[in-house]
Amino acid sequence: MFASDLLRALDCCPGAGSSGLLPQLGPRQLLAFTVNCLGNHRYLGFFEDLEQRHKAQVLVEDISDILEEHAEKHFHPYIAYCSNEVYQQRTLQKLISSNAAFREALREIERRPACGGLPMLSFLILPMQRVTRLPLLMDTLCLKTQGHSERYKAASRALKAISKLVRQCNEGAHRMERMEQMYTLHTQLDFSKVKSLPLISASRWLLKRGELFLVEETGLFRKIASRPTCYLFLFNDVLVVTKKKSEESYMVQDYAQMNHIQVEKIEPSELPLPGGGNRSSSVPHPFQVTLLRNSEGRQEQLLLSSDSASDRARWIVALTHSERQWQGLSSKGDLPQVEITKAFFAKQADEVTLQQADVVLVLQQEDGWLYGERLRDGETGWFPEDFARFITSRVAVEGNVRRMERLRVETDV
């Protein structure tokens, strides 16, 4: 399982080390978990214990006790690795973009048969992929042992233990990513034109950011620029409206707390011109954001337009996240479900990373994009529709909902 992946990852890296590239450019970030695991005797002891059980029982009856012990005592490297995964991925991308020699060496290594045609990134994300699958494995064991009281209790304990580990991995990953993100944005946002806002907070994180068209009213007409003129930073508790000065610098124009914001979707045909009438083609995908109490305590309205229907939908979902209480478990059986056919890596804050074979409840569809809830842990976000196929079997849909409900109740995920 994972041990073989680690060894394959190591087999893929000596070329870079021997050329003197990796030692100079961050092997600690790139291979920290590999080194940690190989130096952790009790971590590898998990596989040794499984092998011993298999030798003792040709037909293995149960592994719950092994998984419970290792989840509680020896799997802590998973937490450390997942917490720093964002740094590893960023380090790899920085090396690839900034060092041509490293980039070429890496390409040569990735072409070797031992790598199986997989990029370095795929090896870096394997630990997170592996550990998040373990609760589903233990849930299956729980189902298989329901007729055996003691084995069912053991499987349930193991399920709780591994689910706690997965929660710690997810929380660590989110915490470190958010912390780094907030410190970076703190240096990029210029509040010199408005009342300063203490940006860094342990309870604040970014939900979405991006450029939009700000529609301006000039006399009897509305004017929309040929290029985006407004850059929004949406945090979980505050919306910051800025104007982009450079790729890493933004002048803050205004802001408002999320509980002082109203959002309204507007169709182009419904948008009246200031002088009366309407012009449906002038503003393609409009929506209105009202700051009920802005940085100066006044009400302010922003008429915004995005460059696609899906982008508008994503902004509206993000801006109304605190108001949206999706249906409870009892009604989720009526929602469509999809199975992920190929891995998708989130590139924006409102997207969700998905592994092949993940099952997702679809909460909204818009212009080739789906907004959904990942079944195994409840994480929500957007992803492209062509990375998934809809599940048409009613039996499979109902079974997935029951599994989701069981996992949430049993593990408090």
Average pLDDT for the chain: 83
> According to CATH, what is the number of the domain 191-319?
2.30.29.30
Angle made by CA atoms 162, 87, 114, in degrees to the nearest 5:
75
User: Could you say which of 1.20.900.10, 1.10.10.10, 3.30.1330.10, 3.40.630.30 is the CATH number of the domain covering 2-185?
Assistant: 1.20.900.10
Give the model's confidence band at 18: pLDDT under 50 very low, under 70 low, under 90 confident, else very high. Answer: very low
Please, what CATH class does the domain formed by 329-411 belong to?
Answer: mainly beta
Q: Which of 43-47, 182-186, 315-319 has the lowest mean pLDDT?
A: 43-47
Give the model's confidence band at 322: pLDDT under 50 very low, under 70 low, under 90 confident, else very high. Answer: low
Give the model's confidence band at 35: pLDDT under 50 very low, under 70 low, under 90 confident, else very high. Answer: low
| pLDDT score, position 329 | 47
Would you say residue 276 has pLDDT above 70? no
* CA dihedral of 96, 102, 106, 109, whole degrees rounded to 10: 180
What is the reported pTM? 0.77
Would you say residue 313 has pLDDT above 90? yes
Q: Which of 68-77, 198-207, 244-253, 268-277 has the lowest mean pLDDT?
A: 268-277
CA pair distance 100, 106, nearest whole angstrom: 10
| pLDDT score, position 275 | 53
| pLDDT score, position 4 | 45
DSSP one-letter string for 258-294: GGGEEEEE--GGG-B-TTSSB-TTTSSSEEEEEESS-
| pLDDT score, position 289 | 97
| pLDDT score, position 6 | 42
Would you say residue 274 has pLDDT above 70? no
Where in the chain are all domains bearing CATH 2.30.30.40? Answer: 329-411
CA dist 174 → 44, 87, 90, 179 (Å):
27, 12, 15, 8
Residue type (1 letter), 360: V
Where in the chain are all domains bearing CATH 1.20.900.10? Answer: 2-185
CA pair distance 232, 229, nearest whole angstrom: 10
DSSP one-letter string for 88-103: HHHHHHHHHHH-HHHH
Where in the chain are all domains bearing CATH 2.30.29.30? Answer: 191-319
| pLDDT score, position 273 | 58
Better-scored residue on pLDDT, 108 or 32: 108
Would you say residue 381 has pLDDT above 70? yes
Give the model's confidence band at 268: pLDDT under 50 very low, under 70 low, under 90 confident, else very high. Answer: confident
Taking CB atoms within 8 Å and a gap of at least 24, the contacts of 45-53 are 45/70, 45/74, 46/70, 46/74, 46/75, 47/1, 47/3
The answer to whether 272 and 288 have CB atoms below 8 angstroms apart is: no
Q: What are the tens digits of pLDDT across the range 58-105? A: 888 889 999 999 999 989 888 988 888 888 888 888 888 888 888 888
